[in-house]
Amino acid sequence: AQKVTQAQTEISVVEKEDVTLDCVYETRDTTYYLFWYKQPPSGELVFLIRRNSFDEQNEISGRYSWNFQKSTSSFNFTITASQVVDSAVYFCALNTNSGNTPLVFGKGTRLSVIA
């Protein structure tokens, strides 16, 4: 069975602070995919990143960066210099088999960025 754990339920930071959202996953498959999604109050899931299990390179996209470590089964997400517009619920998710299997989501972390 697959499982995604986001231990942080809610995080509150002041604007311009850096913040890291944690994600720990469990799977017995050797090929799998990890994701981060953003869900603003409107409810739509906004895709942020996909990573496959064979690519452990960290990635940076603007103020966003991701740290994938297979040794600890973690895929953490850092927002640098946070902004109020970053306030949302963030979900980490996992699936396998070239994406033809359902996504397994964590419970999400609600990030509030205060001006």
Partner 1 sequence: ETGVTQSPTHLIKTRGQQVTLRCSSQSGHNTVSWYQQALGQGPQFIFQYYREEENGRGNFPPRFSGLQFPNYSSELNVNALELDDSALYLCASSFPGLDYNEQFFGPGTRLTVL
> Is there binding between residue 52 and partner 1 (CB under 8 A)?
yes
Smallest separation (angstroms) from partner 1 to the CB of 15? 25
The phi and psi torsions of 48 (rounded to 5 degrees) equal: -110, -45
The residue among 23 and 113 lying less far from partner 1, judged by its C-beta, is 23
> Is there binding between residue 57 and partner 1 (CB under 8 A)?
no
The residue among 71 and 100 lying less far from partner 1, judged by its C-beta, is 100
Q: Under DSSP, is residue 86 helix (H, G, I), strand (E, B) or coil?
A: helix
DSSP string, 53-113: TT----EEETTEEEEEEGGGTEEEEEESS--GGG-EEEEEEEEEGGGTS--EE---EEEEE
**Binding residue for partner 1 (CB under 8 A) from 30, 41, 43, 61?**
43
Neighbouring CB atoms inside 10 A of 18's CB total 12
Q: Which stretch in 12-20, 44-52, 54-62, 72-80 sits in contact with partner 1 by CB under 8 A?
A: 44-52
Residues that bind partner 1 (CB under 8 A): 4, 33, 42-45, 47, 50, 52, 91, 93, 98-108
